[in-house]
Amino acid sequence: MKSKIIITISLFATQLMAQTFMQVGALGSFNSTWLFNKNVSDKGDDQDFAAGWGHNFGLCYGFYFNENIGIEINGLIGLNSGAFTGVLDTNKTYNSEISYSSIDIPLMFKYVGKSGAYLEVGPQFSILGTFNYGFKQSYYDFNTGLNVNNDTSYAVTNFFKTSSIAAVLGFGINIKFTDALHLRTGLRFSYGLTDLKGVDALGVPFANFFSYKDGPLKTNAMAGGILIGLTYSIGKKKEDSKKE
């Protein structure tokens, strides 16, 4: 009885391993990026969110248990931003931005259909780099009759966290060039699960008690955009040609 069980398990493992293959490739994406914090939205017209932009690129490695199911890890270098706008005085609008770099490592569970369409979901760990704050304001001063331009920038890294965790969801389609070489096109979205801390639209730290007496609220990073990649499968069996 024991020998039959061992043989059955061995045959199952052999059959399973026969279906496995690896996949390597390069990925890149262009994203709309945001830094959401209720401390900002509570300010009304003084502070509001605007669309920020970012991108990332890097490599991917996947291990597939069969044609449909696998896991994939990415190593990506990213540039992200959170943008804001507001009105300080009558007709004195401003724009500001917080830009930062990151090394993103998503670990994705993958499901690929027969048509090449795929769904991916998983966590992402990010190592965050330097944070820079920029402020721009342009208005006409009726008292002096001059156009006033205020433009300043400085580092705010000390007010932000050095790492973060996000949930990632993506979907798209693999366009086949050959049995092994595919073009990946899709959409990928991420939502930050951990608090990044940081500063508001005017560069004031959320930890500043005089500005935020009720305490700082959570800063969540969000991103979504178009993903394009080129992947190559290693050890994947060639598809059988259709019988006439």
Encode pLDDT of 179-205 as tens digits: 899 999 999 999 999 999 999 999 999
Contact predicate 136/150, CB 8 Å: yes
pLDDT at 244 over 60: no
Banded pLDDT at 5 (limits 50, 70, 90): low
Nearest to 124 by CA among 58, 73, 195, 196: 73
pLDDT surpassing 80 at residue 164: yes
Task: Compute the half-sphere exposure of residue 5: CA atoms within 13 Å on the CB side of its CA.
Answer: 2
* Pairwise CA distance, residues 166 & 30, whole Å: 18
Confidence (pLDDT) at 100: 97
Q: Residue 7 CA to chain centroid, in angstroms?
A: 46
How far is Cα 62 from Cα 26, in angstroms, rounded to an integer?
11
Q: What is the pLDDT, as a whole number, of residue 149? A: 80
Closest CA to 21 of 53, 59, 66, 55: 66
For position 3, what pLDDT does the model report?
A: 58
What does the pLDDT read at residue 241?
Answer: 42
What domains sit in the chain, N to C, each tagged with a CATH number?
21-234 (2.40.160.20)
Cα(205)–Cα(198) distance, integer angstroms: 6
Residue 39: helix, strand or coil by DSSP?
A: helix
pLDDT digits (tens, 9 = 90+) for 33-72: 999 999 999 988 899 999 999 999 999 999 999 989 999 9
Structure tokens at 220: 């969540």
pLDDT of amino acid 169: 98
What integer is the mean pLDDT of 104-123? Answer: 96
